[in-house]
Amino acid sequence: MRGVPQTKDSFWANTSKLDDGCLVWVGAIGKHGYGVTSWGGKSYRAHRVAAWLSGVIDALNSKHSVCHSCDNPICCEPKHLFAGDQKLNMQDKFIKGRTPKGQNHGMAKLKSHQVLEIRNLYATKQYSQVDIAKKYGVTKHAVWRVIHNKTWN
């Protein structure tokens, strides 16, 4: 079990105010970069506990997501937290440009330089989309989407 806070005072004692207004978690940090603590024998993300303690959400096990307006995963400042659902959280992420794109996307099979090579090869009119797909180990449809700027635009 990570962290030890079991009271409001011990929880808030594991935070520190920054100049930018964030109240950051200084306790344990989980593998995804969020503060982690325990409450009632269960492990929670620290910002979720902060949201519950400050009334942003009504229960720790609430089905609401707890989102950050500051986009700082270790921030526990109640003024920076808001309740939402997964859809709202993903929309917020997209609007703020935090969605992985290009070769940084977890499902990407091509690197940026390969996309340029594909476009250049196709522009020569010497290679079919099928030939290019075989060369790069992707589908013909993936090549079509690159060539027509449906992906990697």
Q: Using one digit for the tens of pLDDT, what is the confidence trace for 21-61?
A: 999 999 999 988 999 999 988 999 999 999 999 999 999 88
What pTM, to 2 d.p., does this model score? Answer: 0.63
**Listed residue (90, 92, 91, 97) closest to 80, CA to CA:** 92
pLDDT at position 119 is 93
**Residue 138, φ and ψ in degrees, nearest 5:** -125, 175
The C-alpha angle with vertex 63 and arms to 90 and 61, in degrees rounded to 5, equals 130
The dihedral through the CA atoms of 29, 35, 37, 43 has a sign that is negative
pLDDT at position 76 is 97
| Per-residue pLDDT tens over the stretch 63-112 | 889 999 998 999 999 999 999 888 988 888 778 877 656 665 556 678 88
DSSP element (H, E) containing 67: strand 65-68
Helix (H, G, I), strand (E, B) or coil at 9: helix
